[in-house]
Amino acid sequence: KAGVTQTPRYLIKTRGQQVTLSCSPISGHRSVSWYQQTPGQGLQFLFEYFSETQRNKGNFPGRFSGRQFSNSRSEMNVSTLELGDSALYLCASSGTGGRGAFFGQGTRLTVV
Amino acid sequence: ILNVEQSPQSLHVQEGDSTNFTCSFPSSNFYALHWYRWETAKSPEALFVMTLNGDEKKKGRISATLNTKEGYSYLYIKGSQPEDSATYLCALNNNAGNMLTFGGGTRLMVKP
């Protein structure tokens, strides 16, 4: 079974630009969550999508948004990038059965 | 805002030593506690998902216990090996969705 796939792996953007990150969950998983990891903050929850609907949302500004498609793939968008958005963005997929969340390798975003 | 705390922040042990770390969390609104191992340049790997007070789980040389009444979980590693070197994260899930609130992690370094 293929794992969680995130693309791209690395990205460099300029302040003010926008960026879209993609996550393909494990086949059969309907829940996709996004996390941001920065050196000082650890892993912070952004949002969770389940069956194309946002089910939970963290404390991030409205510049951070996401969506989920009917095949459970999810995208995360950050508009008007700031230097502080430089981080590792991790996606996690979850199925039923309480086995927890399975993470992708992340997208490393650098804003210059 | 949930506060999940892990201690110690980092730990250096010799190969063969046994070690343990602590995860503390608010005991109210508990749903599940997750432990992850995160090696550099890899995805966080799920170790355990624990839901019941008094739960004990084991995977090879690694085991974990859970006390939901007092709000803590211990992770034990017996006979540490260099390949156990990683950051160990605990995360609290306090609702039926998949939103995880992570602790800051314990970075373990095992010297051969």
Burial grade of B30 (CB within 10 A; 0-12, 13-18, 19 or more):
middle
Model confidence pLDDT, tens digit, residues A49-85 = 999 999 999 999 999 999 999 999 999 999 999 999 9
Interface with A, mutate which of B6, B87, B98, B106 (most A CBs under 10 A): B98
Model confidence pLDDT, tens digit, residues B66-102 = 999 999 999 999 999 999 999 999 999 877 688 999 9
- B60: CB partners within 8 A, 6+ apart: none
Chain-chain contact of B1 with A101 (C-beta, under 8 angstroms): no
- What pLDDT does residue B1 have? 65
Chain-chain contact of A100 with B99 (C-beta, under 8 angstroms): no
- B86: CB partners within 8 A, 6+ apart: B37, B38, B39, B40, B107, B108
- What pLDDT does residue A1 have? 62
- What pLDDT does residue B6 have? 97
Length of chain B in terms of residues written: 112
CA-nearest residue to A36 within chain B is B102
Cis-peptide into A61, omega within 30 deg: no
Model confidence pLDDT, tens digit, residues B43-67 = 999 999 999 999 999 999 999 999 9
- What pLDDT does residue B2 have? 75
Model confidence pLDDT, tens digit, residues B3-36 = 899 999 999 999 999 999 999 998 877 789 999 9
CA distances from B86 to B11, B39, B105 (A): 10, 5, 10
* CA atoms within 13 Å, Cβ hemisphere of B7: 4
Q: Which chain B residues touch A103 with a CB distance below 8 Å?
A: 36, 43-45
- What pLDDT does residue B33 have? 94
Chain-chain contact of B1 with A59 (C-beta, under 8 angstroms): yes
